[in-house]
Structure 1
Amino acid sequence: MEPIVHDLRLSETISPYGVGAVVDVRGESLIAPDTSWWDPKRAPVIACARLSAKLRGADLRQPPTHAGRAAKETTSLLYFRFPEWRFCERCTKLSKLTGKSRGHWTNKCDCGGTLVPMRYVAVCEGGSHLQDIPWFMWAHRGNDAGVTETVRHCRAFKELKFVRSSRYGEGLASLRVVCNGCKRDRPLSDLVSKDALRRDSIRCEGTQPWEDENTGDPCNRPLKAVQRGATGNYIAERLSALDIPEEVPQSVEKRDEIRSHDYFKRVVADNGGPQSDMVAGWIADELEVSKDEVLRLAAGDEDPDRETDDAPLLELKDGEWAAFLKKLDGGRDHSGGDFIVDGWQARSAAAWPSALTSRLAAVGQVRRVREVRALKGFRRHNAEAEFISADLRSGTGRKLVYPAVETFGEGIFLRFDEERLTEWENQPEVRARAGILIDRRERSPWATRLDVPEPRYIALHTIAHLLIRRLAFASGYSSASLQERVYAHTDRPDRTAGILIYTAAGDAQGTLGGLVRLGEPGRILPLMLAALGDADVCSNDPVCIESDRQGASQLNLSACHGCVLVSETSCETANRLLDRQLVLGSANVRGLLDDVLDQARRTAAV
């Protein structure tokens, strides 16, 4: 395997062509090795204390880049050829050999034809390993009558060809690997049947394609032949954080106030006695908190709801939520830096339907925000397979290095009224409908990668998608350029209820303001009404609105490509956990914004 220099966008080195991904570039098939292959002198460190802390102090490094034309000494990112087996489109010769011309590696056969990578590779079903199919071995195996002693002992390694034969019809049966030495002929249809590679005694090598052979641990999991471009071959795990001044959540501020109260020591000293209960009541009345919270702090149970090891993304969002709340209360932001948000109260927009402004508490025009995205690693074949770190030196005692990129952009932040949201989500029919997705998530292999679909999350997530689709028409950005960040959790010390829709580019100058301008009162509210109008009738209705089994793993209810779904790169959950009924309502359930359109239409008619 040899290094090959090609041009990729910087953001593509994180997703979709990050460590472990197979990428087709200029007719060649390549794969990116882990960060242990990087030259640290050519991979600059990206500073983001919040994200680095969640990755246990790992280094965040930007992949090596260059500007202009690539030359021999140009800083670059290493990729390897994969699969190594290729066939010539002219003479159909199948081999692992790579041609050379004037001392340079080429992708040409000796006959002058272009070498084309084989369509199928072997993926480990549980270990996330990937390897070439040993085509010469496979061609001379099998249980049919064609496997004679001559075939078994054939050594014509340079006589293998990959041909299409119309005698066998269409499909995989017409694609055949032929050995001109022993005349063995085997169709690719033998490759894709269940346990096909196991029957041919082809075992998992326990390595990734860029690792040396015989360096991996023994792996007894079965191999499966898959197309090299299959989506399941690479399931990346990424983590992103907004680079914001870390604010203390309101719950933490309240706990600090309780501890600093003059009477708190008396509660602790009494250790659950009758005096502690009375004094705790005095503190609770004065600070406007619950007596139970005072007693819990006195007993030493500071925060029973927070799960720091299992919810790193939620912890990141806790700090972001606190920072947004502080900005929303500040009006016009003159602070400067990489986090600039102008806030205004939705209730001040009296000209718009009160059904909307009473539920939408505040809007923030995010004029500048810096986001850092890191690639933790990947899985192959399915979500339950073994996790492979982006740095295979894990366990060596050295500090891990994760690929990361920084982007600068703009956006719109919407905060919803907590009281109205809580009143709505406590209705039995609302909780019952959300419970459908909660149960399916628990049974899904994606459970650990998805937020708990409580009612507020489903509703706000769906609203975010509707707005992305509508903003794409008005902002000048494509919908694939817009991204969401949903803050909707009740199991945190500070309940969250908001969404951020933003766009970011890997340029220090950021973006051009086309999105943040739409956050003004006279623009965002009409856009929300238009987005709700778009979702009121789907082109797939009544099938869509009556369905409760849509999407991957049936993790969507009334949501399809005709009304709600957006690009998977724009969505936190890859287009899962969506439902129009929890936004607009139906005969069986009340939606969070079910009366907004009716009120708007009545006002327009008057």
Structure 2
Amino acid sequence: MTKNAQRLSQLISTFGPGAMIDLPTRSVVVGGLEQWDMKGSAFSTLPEPRLTMRLEQILKEQGRLDPAASLTLRTPPTSVDSKDGVPRGVAAPIFPTWFICEQVETNTSGAKTTRRRRLVRWQDLDSKGRRKFQYDDGRKSDVTPIRFVCACDKGHLQDIDWRWVVHGSGTCHEPMWVEEKGTSADPADTSIVCGCGRRLSLQDTFQPGRLGKCRGERPWLLDRDPEGCGDNLKLLTRTATNTYFPQVHTVISLPTEEDELSQLVDELSGDLAGVQTVQDVAQAKKFNPKVSASLGPYSDGDIFDRLQRIREGARTDATRSPKLSEFDTFAGGRSEIGANHPTAKLYAQTLPREAWADPDAGIDLSGIKNLVAVHRLREVSCLYGFTRFEAAPTGSDGDIEDITLSVRGAPISRDADWLPAIEQFGEGIFIHFDATAIAAWLQKEATAVRNQKLLAGYGHWQKRFAGKAPAYPGTAYVLLHSISHALMAEIALDCGYPASSLKERVYALSSTRGGGDVDRCGILIYTASAGAQGTLGGLVATAPRFAYILKSALERLRICSNDPVCADHEPDDRSGDRATHGAACHGCLLIAETSCEMRNLFLDRSLLVPTMGDDLSCFFS
């Protein structure tokens, strides 16, 4: 892989449109969808009607998609040979356009000696590659992009106007330097100094309004927001983790329980996105070789009929959480789910109880109804927006994060009718919990007391969102979420998968619209990858040892390396995300955030096993 290449999965997560990337000689911002080279065979269309319909519905409601448009999902472009020798990919404009010379100058003023480096603009660099700055005496110096830019809560991004920040409304054309003292890189020890004598400490730039008002600039789209802005700009460190939080929606593909034609149409639903009549089917056959090869023998009317059925089913699913359909598929109790075929989207088996509930393990498994070995699954993830400074809170039902409610988000295109997505294949295990047993546990007095403490913590945490935080997921969700993290850590030790390659989907759902008692309880622990990590079979192979794995996971949680501090942690009076935690820390329940669907929120091992701080509210004795 070259230094300027990114993996497909990175383009819909960490480094999507609007994200800044360091290259060897400069920094760039990943371009919006209009700057992606999607010509010819550079991309593939991904068929996933459930995900497409849901995103289309939400984006149209938000005014971010033309009401007459039909949304499609496409893979990011891959670099292939082209006639002009330029590889296909994603255009990335230079950002920021302020640079610092690497040549250090020493400035002595009295008894103090400071280090300073020249601050220059992109247009000041040499015309050959723009990698060096030439001083007046002929000396040349390499340059690096400045670390500081500015942005607003709406996701707009722009260079800091250093001359205006230092001088105000005055005009000055003297050289400028970044001056540093000490070795801490603290903002108080870094200043912008002008040759005229004016200076500005970076610590002062944190004052509200000190960097000026936002102009609505969107360098990844090469334009300004037509709605304008006017918010106060905030200082943003270019390489900090809060510069970019992708908004990604993920679903698990479900099998099509119909005839062969329905399966073929389902697989090609992405290529048939523009088909609205029977006549359009004939045109698709004529101009799309892929459609012609697969559907040629079938009549146009039958193809259109199957397509309509798939779309109607997807529209029905689009009105509710995608997790409901997934849970009903896994928890149906059928001995086989899907087809055991290399091209199948999903194949799973509900195992007989004696295959996984070993009585010699010495653990009560009465609260678990079934265990499902998922031999093959397909995960589709789609990027539809992003935020800066703070991630949008995640709902426990797995639905789309409405970035207009709690955190204002930014678009990844101006008016594209497609979104970038990737598909990954893997395996997993699904644990179906008895909702009745969990409901009975919630009625216990000790559980109710613990529930009130978790609710108090949630009340403190939601204040940061000005009353627009997602609803409390419920203590049943906290229980299942904590079990999931414990199992993931133990499975990683048992089967050899890297812990960071495991993912979770927690199902604590109500069949009643608008909320109600939780009657669907389950956990899907899976791994999915475009490479070989998701197809080794090691995760499914843990199913016969499940009772022993669960027992070991729970035993590890009884004592945490940070006890008694961890066990005594109370969520009600803490700041930040710690307000959502009971007895949970990096020594026991917290895992890699890429593996957790809830960004490591709402965890408490006191709900699972007796701890030093609470030995009465546990689900497992």
2: distance between equivalents of 1:70 and 1:23? 28
**Which residues of structure 1 form unaligned runs of 5+?**
143-151, 249-307, 394-398, 596-606
State which structure, 1 or 2, has the greater radius of gyration over its C-alpha atoms: 1
Alignment of 1:221 with 2:231, yes or no, is yes
CA 1:342–1:313: 2 relative to 1, 3 Å: farther
Partner of 1:539: 561
2:37–2:90 Cα contact (<8 Å) kept: no
Which residue number corresponds to residue 299 of structure 2?
none
Q: Tell me: CA distance 1:170–1:470, structure 2 relative to 1, closer, same or farther (3 Å).
A: closer
Q: Deviation string for 1:358-402 (max 9, x for gaps)?
A: 112111111111100011211222343422222332xxxxx6322
Corresponding residue for residue 379 of structure 1:
387
Letter in 2 for 1:330: S
Q: Which moved more, 1:545-554 or 1:80-89?
A: 545-554
Q: CA deviation at 1:533?
A: 1.0
Aligned to 1:96: 121
How big is the shift at 1:37? 2.4
2:198 maps to amino acid: R
Which position in structure 2 is the counterpart of 1:466?
A: 486
Residue matched to 1:77: 90
Within 2, Cα distance between the matches of 1:170 and 1:421?
52
Per-residue Cα deviation, 1:92-140 (whole angstroms, up to 9, x for no partner): 3322216888x8635443455332121221121x322221101122222
The aligned counterpart of 1:22 is 20
Contact preservation (8 Å) 1:52, 1:59: yes
Contact 1:33 1:78 in 2 (8 A): yes
Does residue 1:127 correspond to 2:154, yes or no? yes
The one-character-per-residue Cα deviations of 1:528-570 (angstroms, maximum 9, x if unpaired) are 1111111110011111112122661511111110100000111
| Structure 2 residue 353 is matched with structure 1 residue 346 | yes
Look up the SS of the partner of 1:357 in the other structure.
coil
> Where does 1:185-584 land on structure 2 (aligned, <5 Å)?
185-197=199-211, 202-212=212-222, 216-245=226-255, 315-326=321-332, 328-330=333-335, 335-336=340-341, 337-346=344-353, 349-353=357-361, 355-382=363-390, 383=392, 384-393=406-415, 400-438=417-455, 440-441=457-458, 443-445=462-464, 452-490=472-510, 492=512, 495-507=519-531, 510-519=534-543, 521=544, 523-549=545-571, 552=577, 554-584=579-609
Measured in 1, the distance between the counterparts of 2:354 and 2:184 equals: 68
How much does 1:176 deviate?
A: 2.5
Query: What amino acid does structure 2 have at the position aligned with 1:338?
Result: K
Cα 1:411–1:214 change in 2 (3 A) is closer
Q: Is the 8 A contact 1:485 1:499 kept in 2?
A: yes
Closer, same or farther: CA 387–214 of 1 in aligned 2, 3 Å: closer
Is residue 429–residue 540 contact of structure 2 (8 Å, CA) maintained in 1?
yes
Structure 2 distance, partners of 1:36, 1:68, is 21
How many angstroms apart in 2 are the aligned matches of 1:229 and 1:53? Answer: 35
Return the offset for 1:448. Answer: 6.5
Is the alpha carbon distance of 1:513 and 1:120 closer, same or farther for their aligned partners in structure 2, counting shifts above 3 Å?
same
Instruction: Show CA shifts across 1:307-356 (max 9, x none).
Output: x99x9696211111111124x43159753212111221435534245753
Helix, strand or coil at the partner of 2:217: coil
Per mean C-alpha deviation after superposition, the further-off stretch among 562-571 and 381-390 is 381-390
Quote the Cα distance in structure 2 between the aligned partners of 1:70 and 1:508. Answer: 33
Question: Whole-Å Cα distance in 1 between the matches of residues 420 and 474 of structure 2?
Answer: 33
Q: Aligned-pair RMSD on alpha carbons? A: 3.3
Deviation, structure 1 residue 518: 1.3
Shift in alpha-carbon separation, 1:387–1:359, aligned structure 2, 3 A: same
Contact 1:346 1:357 in 2 (8 A): no
Q: Contact 1:480–1:570 at 8 Å: present in 2 too?
A: yes
**Quick check: 2:458–2:579 contact (8 Å CA) kept in 1?**
no
Tell me the SS of whatever aligns to 2:425: strand
**CA distance in 1: counterparts of 2:491 and 2:471, whole angstroms:** 25
CA distance in 1, matches of 2:539, 2:224: 53
SS in 1 for 2:149: strand
Compared with structure 1, are the counterparts of its residues 448 and 525 closer, same or farther at alpha carbon in structure 2 (3 Å cutoff)? farther
- Flag structure 2 segments of 5+ consecutive residues without an equivalent: 57-69, 105-116, 259-314, 393-405
Residue 36 of structure 2 is matched in structure 1 by: 38
- SS for the counterpart of 1:53 is helix
SS at match of 1:322: helix
With over 3 angstroms needed to count, the CA separation of the structure-2 counterparts of 1:355 and 1:82, relative to structure 1, is same
Cα pair 2:81 2:87 within 8 Å, conserved: no
Tell me, in whole angstroms, the C-alpha distance in 2 between the residues paired with 1:562 and 1:169. 29
- Quote the offset at 1:68 in angstroms: 9.5
Which residue identity does 2:171 align to in structure 1?
H
Go from structure 1 to structure 2 and tell me whether the alpha carbon gap of 1:214 and 1:338 turns closer, same or farther (over 3 Å shift): closer
Which shows bigger deviation, 428-437 or 483-492? Answer: 428-437
Is 2:157–2:217's contact at 8 Å kept on the other side of the alignment? yes
1:59 aligns with 2:72: yes
Alpha carbons of 1:352 and 1:216: their partners in 2 closer, same or farther (altered >3 Å)? farther
- 1:49 deviation in Å? 0.9
Contact 1:331-1:344 at 8 Å conserved across structures: no
Cα deviation for residue 72 of structure 1 reads 4.1
Q: Tell me the distance in 2 between the aligned counterparts of 1:470 and 1:69.
A: 48
The answer on 1:171 being equivalent to 2:186 is: yes
Shift of 1:205: 0.8
1:546 counterpart SS class = coil
Aligned residues: 505
- Give the SS at the match of 1:464: helix
State the one-letter code of the partner of 1:229.
T
Question: Secondary structure at the residue paired with 1:570?
Answer: coil
In structure 2, the residue corresponding to 1:109 is in which secondary structure?
strand
Query: Does the Cα contact within 8 Å between 2:187 and 2:203 map onto a contact in 1?
Result: yes
CA distance in 2, matches of 1:106, 1:244: 51
Residue identity in the other structure for 2:554: L
Deviation at 1:59, TM superposition (A): 1.8
Counterpart code for 2:323 = K
Give the percent of matched residue pairs that are identical in Structure 1 and Structure 2. 30
**Partners of 1:474 and 1:314 in 2: CA distance:** 36
Match of 2:50 in 1: 50
1:415 is displaced (CA, Å) by 0.9
Q: In structure 2, what residue type is equivalent to 1:318?
A: L
The CA deviation string for residues 286-313 of structure 1, in whole angstroms up to 9 with x for no partner, is: xxxxxxxxxxxxxxxxxxxxxx99x969
- Deviation for aligned residue 1:219: 1.6
| Counterparts in 2 of 1:426 and 1:371: CA distance versus 1, 3 Å | same
**By how many angstroms is 1:233 displaced?**
2.5
Deviations 1:202-241 (A, max 9, x none): 2201122234465543322111112223333323221100
1:117 equivalent in structure 2: 145
- 8 A contact 1:99–1:108 mirrored in 2: no
- Partners of 2:458 and 2:46 in 1: how far apart? 35
State the Cα deviation string for residues 567-587 of structure 1 (Å, max 9, x = none).
Answer: 011111100011111111467
TM-score by length of 2: 0.73
